């Protein structure tokens, strides 16, 4: 699902699992939902790097039909533990030939061992409180060609129109050089009318470009809202949405990739704020002198104020999406907040496992693919931290923050310093008392 917007790179390798057993998706107790054309089943995200557990319900090495489990880090296979007396939730096991569901054994989000996950309450759409989020895709096999189903088409078309424009926005921002030389000459020679006109002529088209960037952020906000509505609406759980609507999940990831890419370029280009500050000073000075300039009709005072607040942010696009996500949760009071946070934590989990597992990383031959995964992971962490009451850094968080930070710090600093700064300075709960000292130390 993860495909960059700004850089058309080689697609992420599509590593298919063994054939699915008949009767439904792995990890689900029932048949495939109607209308699903590209779902591939849920598979749990582990907290430890290394080979993932073999899906329950797959035949053993001897073809016995009995589920087997590959122990993480050991490379050996053994029979699953016997099922506990209490039944497991339907999303954590596949029925065996004897009609029993094996217990799921693994590590919790903080790495603690766990012998099984108790079933959620009857009728619940979410797994138990200590369960890890299931991946909407098995890490390492993210299909880049997920196509929208008929039910997804309306939202997909709306978001796709925005994403197509996103490429042009990034290209314009990357080529933005500013009018620094003209502005300096005009400031140093305030009495030279020719230099004043030259600076003004250089700044006006740049400000028009900055206005387009700001207006695009508003369209991106609306696109994100449409995706959140589609990926969290009843009656399906967030992981089921991500499985059923992979084309929309792909677009969600592309929006986050664009957002982090835009903000990285903006943070490294001080000409943006310098140009806009000169424009506003010139407008104010001419207004005092009762002069009307043609450019003022395009960017009036109200628009200039909104743009000023937007570009004053270190990460303006990410701030826009964070506010949009928070507003979405507050306005949809009948929608459990867990539906939104589970969607975000699942995507973070999948990205982390893809990045920290050598088996999957070895298939990424393009550096931009790794950057794409890292940007999406950081983006959903920040959104989660803004939406969740206690944030992403608390012990009760469903995101393995230590693992996510470690995976970023294992990369060359030139490619991840901006992402680490985004976690340091654009999250809400990093400095809360509930954040462990180890996590704070990792981000020092």
pLDDT in tens, 270-323: 999 999 999 999 888 876 555 555 555 578 888 989 999 999 998 999 999 999
| Per-residue pLDDT at 362 | 82
Helical spans, DSSP H, in 147-192: 153-174, 180-188
Residues in the chain: 444
| Per-residue pLDDT at 90 | 31
| Per-residue pLDDT at 288 | 55
| CA R_g for the chain | 25
User: How far apart, in Å, are the Cα atoms of 140 and each of 8, 351, 361, 416?
Assistant: 19, 9, 8, 21
CB burial readout 346-378, b (16+ within 10 A) else e: bbbbbbbbbbbbeebbeebeeebbbbbbbbbbb
415 neighbors 367 (Cβ within 8 angstroms): yes
| Per-residue pLDDT at 411 | 86
Is the alpha carbon torsion for 402, 352, 124, 24 positive or negative? negative
380 neighbors 242 (Cβ within 8 angstroms): no
| Per-residue pLDDT at 104 | 33
Measured CA to CA, the distance from residue 29 to residue 68 in angstroms comes to 18
* Per-residue pLDDT tens listing for the chain (444 residues): 444 444 443 444 444 444 434 333 333 444 444 444 444 443 334 444 433 333 333 333 334 444 433 333 444 434 433 333 322 233 322 333 333 333 333 333 333 333 322 233 334 444 333 333 333 344 433 445 678 888 889 999 999 999 999 999 999 999 999 999 999 999 999 889 899 999 999 999 999 999 999 999 999 999 999 999 999 888 888 888 888 888 999 999 999 999 999 999 999 999 999 999 999 998 888 765 555 555 555 788 889 899 999 999 989 999 999 999 999 999 988 888 988 999 999 999 999 998 988 888 888 778 888 899 999 999 999 999 999 999 999 999 999 999 999 999 998 888 888 899 999 999 999 989 989 999 999 998
| Per-residue pLDDT at 294 | 57
| Per-residue pLDDT at 16 | 40
| Per-residue pLDDT at 132 | 37
383 neighbors 426 (Cβ within 8 angstroms): no
Tell me the per-residue pLDDT of 224-242, one tens digit each, with 9 for 90 and over.
999 999 998 888 888 888 8
- Nearest-10 Cα torsion for 23, 26, 30, 33: -90
User: How far apart, in Å, are the Cα atoms of 317 and each of 145, 254, 344?
Assistant: 26, 13, 18
| Per-residue pLDDT at 65 | 41
CB burial readout 196-230, b (16+ within 10 A) else e: bebbbebbbebbebbbebbebbeebbebbbbbbeb
**β 113-114/77-78 pair status:** unpaired
* Residue written as token pair 């400095």: 431
């Amino acid at each position: 699902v993860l495909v960059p917007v700004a850089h058309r790179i080689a697609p992420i390798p599509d590593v298919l699992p063994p054939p699915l057993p008949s009767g439904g998706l792995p990890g689900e107790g029932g048949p495939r939902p109607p209308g699903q054309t590209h779902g591939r089943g849920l598979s749990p995200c582990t907290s430890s790097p290394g080979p993932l557990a073999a899906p329950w319900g797959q035949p053993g090495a001897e073809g016995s039909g009995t589920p087997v489990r590959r122990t993480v880090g050991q490379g050996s296979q053994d029979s699953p533990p016997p099922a506990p007396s209490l039944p497991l939730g339907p999303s954590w096991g596949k029925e065996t030939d004897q009609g029993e569901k094996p217990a799921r054994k693994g590590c919790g989000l903080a790495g603690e061992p766990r012998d099984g996950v108790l079933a959620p309450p009857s009728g619940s759409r979410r797994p138990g409180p200590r369960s890890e989020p299931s991946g909407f895709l098995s890490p390492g096999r993210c299909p880049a060609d997920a196509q929208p189903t008929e039910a997804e088409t309306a939202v997909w078309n709306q978001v796709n129109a925005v994403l197509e424009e996103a490429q042009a926005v990034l290209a314009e921002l990357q080529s933005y050089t500013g009018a620094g030389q003209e502005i300096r000459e005009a400031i140093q020679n305030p009495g030279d009318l020719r230099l004043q006109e030259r600076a003004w002529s250089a700044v006006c088209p740049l400000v028009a470009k900055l206005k387009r960037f700001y207006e695009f952020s508003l369209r991106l906000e609306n696109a994100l809202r449409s995706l959140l509505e589609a990926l969290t609406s009843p009656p399906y759980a967030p992981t089921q949405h991500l499985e059923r609507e992979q084309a929309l999940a792909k677009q969600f990831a592309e929006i986050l990739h664009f957002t982090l890419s835009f903000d990285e370029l903006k943070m490294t280009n001080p000409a943006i704020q310098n140009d806009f500050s000169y424009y506003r000073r010139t407008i104010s000075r001419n207004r005092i002198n009762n002069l009307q300039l043609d450019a003022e009709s395009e960017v009036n005072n109200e628009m200039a104020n909104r743009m000023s607040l937007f570009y004053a942010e270190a990460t303006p696009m990410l701030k826009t999406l964070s506010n949009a996500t928070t507003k979405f949760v507050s306005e949809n009071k009948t929608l459990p907040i867990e539906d939104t946070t589970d969607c975000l934590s699942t995507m973070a989990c999948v990205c982390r496992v893809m990045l920290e597992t050598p088996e999957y990383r070895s298939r990424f031959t393009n550096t931009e693919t790794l950057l794409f995964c890292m940007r999406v992971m950081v983006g959903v962490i920040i959104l989660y931290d803004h939406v969740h009451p206690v944030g992403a850094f608390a012990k009760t968080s469903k995101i393995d923050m230590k693992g996510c930070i470690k995976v970023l710090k294992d990369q060359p600093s030139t490619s991840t310093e901006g992402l680490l700064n985004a976690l340091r300075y654009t999250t809400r709960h990093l400095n809360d008392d509930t954040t462990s000292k180890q996590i704070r130390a990792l981000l020092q």
